[in-house]
Amino acid sequence: MKWEYKTLKHDASSFLGRLDAQGLQDQFNGLGQEGWELVSTFENRETRDILVIFKRPLS
């Protein structure tokens, strides 16, 4: 099977004290409706970025 990937980048420092959990959930549910599956997250402590990686089967 072949896959395609989507990577989202979020600035972790923007979440401090005001994480919008509902907004993230809505965003991820929308991606799930499009067939994307969350496969991994990474935090870059130097840049304060959080990378969120999704995949779905290539049509």
DSSP symbol at 12: G
* 6-58 pLDDT, tens digit each: 999 988 776 666 777 888 899 999 999 999 999 999 988 888 888 999 999 99
- Is the four-CA dihedral 29, 21, 55, 58 of positive or negative sign? positive
E strand segments, the chain: 3-11, 37-44, 49-57
In this predicted structure, the answer to whether residue 2 has a pLDDT above a threshold of 90 is yes
Q: Which residues contact 41 (CB under 8 A, 6 or more apart)?
A: 50, 51, 52, 53
Phi and psi dihedrals of 13, rounded to 5? -65, -25
